[in-house]
Copies of this chain bind each other. A is one copy, B any other.
Amino acid sequence: MNEPATPCLVIDAAVVRRNLKRYADYVAQHGLGLRPHTKTHKSVKLARMQLDAGAVGLTVAKAGEAQVMAEAGDDLLMAYPAVDRPRCDALAELAKKVTVRVAIDSQAAAEALADAATRAGSTIGILVDIDVGGGRTGVQTPKDALALAQFVDQQAGLRLDGIMCYPGQVRGEPAAQTPALKQVDATLAETIDLWRQHGLAALIVSGGSTPTAMQSHLVTNLTEIRPGTYVYNDMKIVTGGYCTLDDCAARFACTVVSDAVPDQVVIDAGAKTLTYDSFGSGETLSHGYLVEYPEARVTKLSEEHGQVDMTKCDPRPRVGERVTVIPAHICPCVNLQDQVWWKENGELEALRIDARGKLS
């Protein structure tokens, strides 16, 4: 195999296919739709693989990502509120060609999207974003969800399609019915019931993230889930108990560039490669897992230096040696790369990160 310059991200195709199958099997078993969040891979090729594996559509976070992912699929959900004119106009324009849905939590967003759709002569589907405990976005009560749904229902250019929630705070043992999960279930049920009483239907009820994905069948009303990370996995998913090291498809090849400081080596992957994200805490905190040196910890990052504590390692890597690093959180790492390497049958092929840096 050729040896590309480091640091570089190598994606194991076989592991990706296995990850896709695991989630496809899960949703098939429970009659759920899978709408993968493409923020993780930002690649048209991967989005197509997800659709080929049975996904009902694609999720994006930004309008620029939606424009890229329209090359892969014709049913896009922007799980992110659009309120500013550039973003709304871009989505309304895109809605002339493909199904575009946006999750919102304010009348201001509904008005802005309605205006844009009217200007473009298109229709945008709306999911009402309801906060099920995470406290990030989303209307606060079923009653507020009804009020926003009624408002949306009256806007020209908009079509009320359902409800979105992000149950990221629901993390227990896989597949366990935790109190937090019961609360999500109850909130969604109450909202749907209230809508029904007022003649409104939630055809789509969208939930899920990778850590909570396998609990989705315990939420009665969900119609689809939106995991992203599952396609590659990372150390946060491993340490959360949601997958094994073998399920981590995306790994950095790095070079040891210094061992001058005692009990430490430096790898050529700092925060501009691994991001400042970490897993573990205190004595176990690390910014990456060194596959060949499991006892090593990436304890300190500067922009291009990764300082690796080697106290517990024997033998230790020499300067110039290549090491394999699984990052804490893969999604922002992929977003730092213009291209990664797709490894299939022992061959490396360049894979462009099509939606890299699409921030707006």
Q: Which residues of A contact B (CB under 8 A)?
A: 3-8, 39, 61-62, 80-87, 90, 105-106, 108-109, 112, 129, 131, 135-140, 144, 255-262, 264, 266, 268, 271-273, 275-277, 300, 302-305, 307, 318-320, 322, 331-332, 335-338, 357, 359-360
Contacts and interface: CB of A to CB of B under 8 A. Distances in A.
A318 B136 contact: no
Given A80-B304, A106-B258, A336-B336, A135 B264 contact: yes
B320 A108 contact: yes
A303 B275 contact: no
A354 to B, nearest CB: 13
Number of copies of this chain that the complex holds: 2
Nearest to A62: B304
Contacts of A144: 260
B258 A105 contact: yes
B357 A332 contact: no
A86 B271 CA distance: 21
Given A61-B303, A255-B83, A137 B277 contact: no
Given A80-B304, A275-B276, A357 B337 contact: yes
Contacts of A260: 105-106, 129, 131, 137-140, 144
A331 to B, nearest CB: 6
Given A112-B320, A318-B108, A258 B137 contact: yes
Given A112-B320, A140-B260, A271 B332 contact: yes
Nearest to A271: B332
Contacts of A259: 106
Nearest to A85: B3
Nearest to A256: B83
Nearest to A305: B136
A262 B84 contact: no
B84 A6 contact: yes
Contact of A305 (B106, B137, B359): B137
Interface centre among A7, A319, A360 (most CB of B within 10 A): A319
A269 to B, nearest CB: 8
A319 B257 contact: no
A300 to B, nearest CB: 8
A333 to B, nearest CB: 11
Nearest to A258: B137
Contacts of A81: 257-258, 266, 319
A261 B135 contact: yes
Given A5-B86, A106-B319, A303 B258 contact: no
28 contacts: A3-B86, A5-B84, A5-B87, A7-B359, A61-B304, A80-B305, A81-B266, A83-B255, A83-B257, A84-B255, A84-B257, A84-B320, A84-B322, A106-B260, A108-B319, A112-B320, A131-B260, A135-B261, A135-B264, A136-B300, A138-B260, A138-B261, A140-B260, A276-B276, A303-B332, A304-B359, A336-B336, A337-B357
